[in-house]
Amino acid sequence: MGLPKTSSAHSLIELSKRQWSRLESSSLLLSGKTTIQSNIMNVGYNNIHMGSNVMLRKKRGLSSGINVNWKIPQLANTKGGYMLIATNKNELLKSNPDLIVIDGSNQELLIDNVNDYTDYQPSGILVLCIAKLERESVKSQYLWGPKDASNIKKWKTNIITGHSSHFGSTGNYYSFGNRANYGLIGLSSLTQFLHKTYKKKLKMKEATLNTERYEQLLAQDLKNGVQSLVSILPNVRDYIAPTLNTAYKVQSKNWRLQFEKNGCK
């Protein structure tokens, strides 16, 4: 877990003091970051502070022929069915100077519309992960499988193997929907992630239809997931993609931003 040092900017949410006070009991706070560089960069933490609501489950297994025991967080037995993994901002910034920190306190102030700013200050705590066990019935009408992974690989380009390693990531990474463009297209600095291009028109049409279908499916599942997290962080929509969130507001004023309202945000 963690982020390698990179020339590319990456963003994380910093909780307000008010948010951290409410969420600390359901959090794992990591410190003492260590990095082991091999073929794959492995990042770990020496110290873990566990909130009072976090429940652990004992596990047993073999590692290199040796019996080992360990404990893992148990979401089902954790109050509220959710958990945060967080770390100290100053520590992470030392190894990741290109990190962009999204200030949760300012976003919270706009929503709550309060006059007392005491608790609406940055806490110095960054969110690395939010996990929530959804107890409601499954909302998705589509069951994903290996065939879908093969289809997406067929029509989309893996951005990790291109000109960017995407923050030191490995494996397969495919993007859909709107994105920021580093330059103007007309009067807009927004564009969309594209599928693979083909010389034959029929092949291009097939790629367009298939990627649009998957974008709609992904958008619905993403919408369901974000909606589930609203109970933890009410303003989480503004955190996930602040640039595109601003673009939505500008688009509503009839500006021409080449912005797709449907599909993945």
User: What is the average per-residue pLDDT within 25-52?
Assistant: 85
CA angle 91, 95, 100 (to 5 degrees): 80
What tens digit of pLDDT does each residue of 172-228 get? 888 887 777 777 776 677 777 888 888 899 999 999 999 999 988 988 888 888 888
In DSSP notation, 156-222 reads: S--GGGTT--TTT--S-----SEEEEEEEETTEEEEE------SSHHHHHHHHHHHHHHHHHHHHHH
User: What is the average per-residue pLDDT within 76-105?
Assistant: 85
What tens digit of pLDDT does each residue of 5-18 get? 444 556 788 898 88
Length of the chain: 265
Split at pLDDT 50, 70, 90, the class of 253 is low
- Please report where in the chains the tokens 């901002």 appear, as a residue: 89
Cα torsion 50, 55, 57, 63 to 10°: value is -20
Residue 23 clears pLDDT 50, i.e. is over it: yes
Residue 202: the pLDDT is 92
Q: Which residues pair with 14 in a beta bridge?
A: 103, 126
Handedness of CA 221, 227, 230, 232 (dihedral sign): negative
pTM of the model: 0.71
- Report the alpha-carbon distance of residue 182 to residue 71 in Å, rounded: 45
Write down the domain spans for the chain. 10-132, 146-251
